[in-house]
């Protein structure tokens, strides 16, 4: 890739990243959440159940920060704690999908429709390339985060 093309690509990528951050900040504010809590809720919603330790491992947050996160999201009734009878120290986190969708669904419905409209303007081959880029870039970002969290 030539220098000018690489510069254009980096600029477009930076603008996309910045716009994503700003959009998610706005969504979080509208939902009455911090940006971090909004993003971590999205992560938690990917699981039927998850432990606080698993959240810490996935996010790189300390156990204390995860406890605070769970406290805030539980207070908003977006998840609940379930204690394990055999080991009361172990807690399972159960996301409340219904309450989360009541809060975030209306915001994301319009975004989803606009995204579908945009994607429909690309050919299948183009969407395959875009998906390949996102998967590769995601792997690089995860690797970088893991390296930074472990040093």
pLDDT tens column, 21-32: 999 999 999 999
Q: What is the pLDDT of residue 87?
A: 73
Longest Cα–Cα distance in the chain: 61
pLDDT digits (tens, 9 = 90+) for 42-55: 999 999 999 999 99
CATH classification number, 3-120, choose in 1.10.760.10, 1.10.10.10, 1.25.60.10, 1.10.287.110: 1.10.10.10
Q: If residue 114 lies in a helix (H) or strand (E), which one and from where to where?
A: helix 97-119
Q: What is the pLDDT of residue 60?
A: 86
Under-50 pLDDT residues of the chain: none
What residue spans define the domains of the chain? 3-120
Q: What is the pLDDT of residue 117?
A: 97
Chain position carrying tokens 């996935």: 58
Q: If residue 67 lies in a helix (H) or strand (E), which one and from where to where?
A: helix 63-75
Q: What is the pLDDT of residue 10?
A: 93
Q: What is the pLDDT of residue 85?
A: 78
Q: If residue 145 lies in a helix (H) or strand (E), which one and from where to where?
A: helix 124-149
DSSP 150: T
Distance CA 145, CA 132 (A): 20
Whether residue 40 contacts residue 47, with contact meaning beta carbons closer than 8 Å, is answered with no
Q: What is the pLDDT of residue 30?
A: 92
């Amino acid at each position: 890739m030539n220098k000018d093309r690489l510069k254009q690509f980096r600029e477009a990528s930076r603008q996309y990243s910045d716009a994503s951050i700003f959009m998610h900040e706005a969504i979080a504010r509208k939902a009455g959440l911090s940006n971090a809590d909004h993003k971590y809720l999205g992560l938690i919603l990917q699981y039927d159940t998850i432990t606080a330790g698993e959240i810490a491992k996935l996010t790189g947050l300390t156990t204390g920060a995860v406890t605070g996160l769970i406290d805030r999201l539980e207070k908003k009734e977006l998840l609940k704690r379930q204690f394990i009878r055999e080991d009361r120290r172990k807690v399972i986190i159960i996301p409340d999908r219904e309450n989360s969708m009541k809060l975030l669904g209306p915001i994301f419905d319009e975004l989803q429709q606009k995204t579908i409209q945009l994607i429909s303007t690309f050919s299948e081959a183009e969407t395959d390339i875009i998906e390949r880029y996102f998967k590769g870039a995601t792997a690089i970002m995860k690797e970088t985060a893991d390296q930074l969290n472990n040093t």
